[in-house]
Structures are given as structure tokens and as C-alpha cells.
Amino acid sequence: MMSLVTAADLKAWISRGGELAILDAREEGEFGHGHLFWAVPCPLSKKELRARALLPRKATRVVCVDGGEGHAQKLAAYLTSLGHSDVHVLKGGTPAWKEAGYTVFTGVHVPSKAFGEWVEHHYGTESLDPPELQALVDSGKPLVILDSRPMDEYVKMTIPGSVNVPGGELAYRIGDMVPDAETTIVVNCAGRTRSIMGAESLRRAGVPNRIVALRNGTMGWELAGFTCERGQTRTYPAGTPKSADLALQRATAFGDENGVKVISRAAAEELLSDESRTTYALDVRAADEYAAGHIPGFRHAPGGQLVQATDQWIAVRGARVILADDDTVRSRMTGAWLRQLGGWEVYVVQEASKGATVSGPWKPQVPEVKPATTVTAQALAAEKGVTVVDLARSIDFRAGHIPGAVWAVRGRIPKIEGAVVVTAPDATLAHLAAAEIPGARVLEGGVAAWKAAGLPVAADRQTPPDEACVDWYLRPYDRNSGIEEAMKEYLSWEIDLVHEVERDGDSRFGAW
């Protein structure tokens, strides 16, 4: 049953350990303006798409929070309707937490970003400033620059000459990409965390080269007066690297050092069937590898992003995590960092590729969805007097939408007279929203199908305006004004996270 819990009691629960999930019911942009350290976003607009994956065990203790708007009660009621038996609401929400003298954090993926700063301090990760990197490039000495972000971020902006190697792939592929120990390896991201984690992953793996993180990433690069490349797609060679055996030796040592356990597929199935503990099953390979074939029930969570944004996949403190890939290299590296970050009990699956597999992307189970009537892009283009409601991320709506479309968040769609067609990148979300609007239809294939049909697309960086982007915590370069100042503030925020975490006292990095 749902009950109210005070800030003091919740603080005690966190300190006591054991299984506990803290879900914030606000939209992610609102969440980013102030939340608890271990809180995980589960916005009301997407609760059906996220809740089951974040909370695979219904007996887990869950505390729902918000900013005092009443969203937490609605999320708690939904979880209770799913059969969760230990659901609570933080009395007074985040304001009450702050009033009790506890720390409120801004930003997103805070535990992961704070962990990155801890790693730099703990291991003494070497870094260099943009002018130092430029001088190194100009010197002509052997050098490689590796961008550790996903390709969609790399394409937008990167350091000139860099190659895209997402963080989870670095230790796996470095032997092929940089066989010469005399070559300096520079790892960058947009800011700090993935630069630090990428560089330190290579150092922890025992790669003999000089390895450094680019201090403050692409933001620091542009603040220093240099220009980023845009539209690049350079990346690592596909397939199993020739140096995979060396990578396995390195990853095994790091994983063993941090208590990562190796189990068979049969043992993994037994753990997943154990209802006494929450267990997450995650495949840490690249998206194309995952889609080609993965263990049934394993969700895709590329290793570098899993460490960078753990709260997208793991909500329960004290849970077990089972990781899978082809040969355990990426699993062991990722698992070792998860052990240090959150103290989760981590297992990797030996010979995961042997046995039954399923193909295709992961899709959440949403049994409550009721399919609405659909309309094709061509048919919609021929209609008159139809209002299109687009539920894409606000920054994606800015980049391209159907002319005349209205951007909205599900549950906050303004009242519209006349015919309505709903579109969303996730068709399930579109159907959920359409069911809440009398007579609404869903655009078949979404905006992607509209574009594929050669129909016109509008783009406007000002719509929605920055202040209306409640669904997305705007990065400095997403903003329409004050970008340089926002970059400086963001980098200062990341650096200060170590001190904020110390004041909060709820993290135990490295203390598994």
C-alpha cells in the first residue's frame, strides 16, 4: 500500500542499505532543476514505458518523489495498480528534503557524473587543456584522439581529427586501433565524465601508452577559441578485433579486482527467476550487435553509456546486475565500474552468444496500450483542418517537425478543437496519448515516415523556447542564448560535484 515517508526516514533508509528505488515523477527537464542524489527519472508521461524495466521486482521498496506538484502520488498509484506492494511518497517532495537540511542536486545523471570526478581524484587521471592538445597535434608526434560518446553526439560536434569509439568499446578495440605503445592516446567527450572514464578505463586495463583525458571536452575546446568539426562519422572497424584475446586478459584483471563474477547462461536464468532479489539483465554491446541477436530478456545498454547514465537502466540500490556481450571483455570492464559506482552485485555471462537468441531492438512491454486508428503520412498531408500533436523530445521537435504541428508532453496536451493526429518517435507513446484525446488518430511511422515520403519539414530552434522544454534538461549547446556562460557554469558544476557528494553523504564510491 502507498504511504507517506518523511525526509528523515528516507535518509535513514538510504543509509541502511538494502533494496530501495527512488523514482522522480516529474519530466526530465524539471527533474534536472533539483532532485535527490539517487533519484531516477520516471516521468508520468512515460511511466508505462519505463516503470516495468526500472522495477522488475514488485516487492522492492519504492519511494516516489516530485517537486511538490502531486505527480508523485499519481506515479505511486500507478505502481500500486501494477502490483507493487511497498510503495511510498516522499512527504512534501524535494522541497521538504531541502528544508530538512539535505542536499538537492541539479543536473542529470548525477551519480555517474559525480563518480567520474571521484575517479579522476582517486586514480589521478592525467588530463590536458585544449591548447596543450593543439600543441601536441602541431608537434607531429604519434597521437590519436578518441571521442568516447555515442555516434549521434559525435556527429554534432567533435575535436578535429578524432575517431568515434564509445566508452564501452575503448578497452576492447584499443589494441587494434593503437598497436604502437609510443602513441599518445587522448580521450574526449562533450564535457568531463566520459573523457575521464574513457581514459581511466584504458589505464585500468593496463594499456602501456600515455593516456590523457581532454579537460572539459568539446565545450572546453570551443571556450578556448578552437573550432569543432561537425558532421563527421569516423569510427572503429566493425567486427571482433584481432587483439580480442589481449583485451580479455586486461578486462579479466580489472573485473576480478573489483569483484565481478562470471556465470553461465543457466546460472543467469536462475538468478533472473529468483524473486527474492531485483535483478537487471543488460547487454552492453553496440546497438547493431544487440539487434543482430541477444539473449532473450536482456535489455540493450551500451557499456559506456550505462556507466555514464546508470539511472536510465538501473533504479534499485542493492540490486543484482547481469551483463552480457560476446566474450565478456566489455561486460567485465563495465561491471568493474558499476561495482565501484553503486556497489551493485555484478555478474557477466560466459559464452553468452551460445544458445537461443532473439533479434531486433528492445521494446518495453506495455499491455495497457490500446491501439488507436492510424493514418499514413500521404493521407495526412491531403487532409485539411487537422492538428498534429508531436510528442518528440523538445530538442528533436526544434530540429524537424511537420509544419504547423504542436509540440507537447503527454498528460499536458492543450485542449484542441477539431481533428487531432498524434505522432511520437515511439509508437507506443503515441497510442497511449491518442487514447486520452477523444477521436485522435496516430501517424503511422511518425515523423520519420513523413520525411521518408518526401513531405516538407519545418525547423525552428526557438520552438519550443528554452523555458518550455520541461521534458529535457538543456545542455549548454541546446540553449538559444548565453551558451558560453552556460558551458562555463556546467563545467564548474561537474568539478564541484565531488564536494556536493561529500556534503550529501549518500554515495559510497569504491566501497563495495
Say if residue 277 is in the same domain as residue 232: no
- Is 505 within a domain? no
Query: Rounded distance, CA 263 to CA 350, Å?
Result: 6
pTM metric for this prediction: 0.96
Among 66, 86, 105, the domain boundary falls at 105
- Is 82 within a domain? yes
- Is 509 within a domain? no
Q: Is the dihedral of CA 366, 367, 372, 376 positive or negative?
A: positive
- The mean pLDDT value for 302-328 works out to 97
Q: Is a pLDDT exceeding 60 seen at residue 1?
A: no
Tally of helices (H runs) and strands (E runs) in the chain: 21, 21
- Is 369 within a domain? no
Among 105, 123, 150, the domain boundary falls at 105
Q: How far is CA 242 from its chain centroid?
A: 30
Say if residue 175 is in the same domain as residue 200: yes
What pLDDT, in 10s, does the model give residues 61-112? Answer: 999 999 999 999 999 999 999 999 999 999 999 999 999 999 999 999 999 9
- Is 512 within a domain? no
Q: Which residues contact 377 (CB under 8 A, 6 or more apart)?
A: 443, 444, 445, 449, 450, 452, 453, 455
Say if residue 101 is in the same domain as residue 13: yes
Three cell numbers, residue 43? 516521468
Strands 299-300 and 184-188: unpaired
Query: Rounded distance, CA 83 to CA 65, Å?
Result: 19
What pLDDT, in 10s, does the model give residues 373-426? Answer: 999 999 999 999 999 999 999 999 999 999 999 999 999 999 999 999 999 999
Q: Is 252 helix (H, G, I), strand (E, B) or coil?
A: helix
Burial class (CB within 10 angstroms; exposed 0-12, middle 13-18, buried 19+) of 456: exposed
- Is 28 within a domain? yes
Strands 184-188 and 211-214: parallel
Say if residue 91 is in the same domain as residue 126: no
pLDDT for residue 490: 95
Say if residue 125 is in the same domain as residue 230: yes
Q: Name the band, by pLDDT with cuts 50, 70 and 90, for residue 331.
A: very high
What pLDDT, in 10s, does the model give residues 435-453? Answer: 999 999 999 999 999 999 9
What pLDDT, in 10s, does the model give residues 54-73? Answer: 999 999 999 999 999 999 99
- Is 7 within a domain? yes
- Is 66 within a domain? yes
What pLDDT, in 10s, does the model give residues 175-213? Answer: 999 999 999 999 999 999 999 999 999 999 999 999 999
Contact between 478 and 395 (Cβ < 8 Å): yes
3-class SS string, 22-33 = EEECCCHHHHCC
Radius of gyration of the chain (CA): 23
Three cell numbers, residue 24? 522522480
Q: Is a pLDDT exceeding 90 seen at residue 511?
A: no
Say if residue 37 is in the same domain as residue 87: yes
Among 237, 270, 298, the domain boundary falls at 237
- The mean pLDDT value for 219-234 works out to 98
Range of the domain at 398: 374-467
Say if residue 339 is in the same domain as residue 416: no
User: With pLDDT > 90 as the criterion, what percentage of the chain qualifies?
Assistant: 98
Strands 316-317 and 20-24: antiparallel
**Domain count for the chain:** 4
Cis peptide before 43 (omega within 30 of 0): no
Say if residue 34 is in the same domain as residue 93: yes
Which of 108, 95, 105, 90 has its CA nearest to residue 29?
Answer: 108
pLDDT for residue 461: 96
Three cell numbers, residue 117? 570526478
Say if residue 163 is in the same domain as residue 98: no
- Other beta carbons within 10 Å of 211: 23
Say if residue 120 is in the same domain as residue 210: yes
What pLDDT, in 10s, does the model give residues 9-37? Answer: 999 999 999 999 999 999 999 999 999 99
Say if residue 226 is in the same domain as residue 119: yes
Say if residue 453 is in the same domain as residue 378: yes
Query: Rounded distance, CA 347 to CA 261, Å?
Result: 5
The residue behind cell 502531486 is 70
What's the CATH number where 337 sits? 3.40.250.10
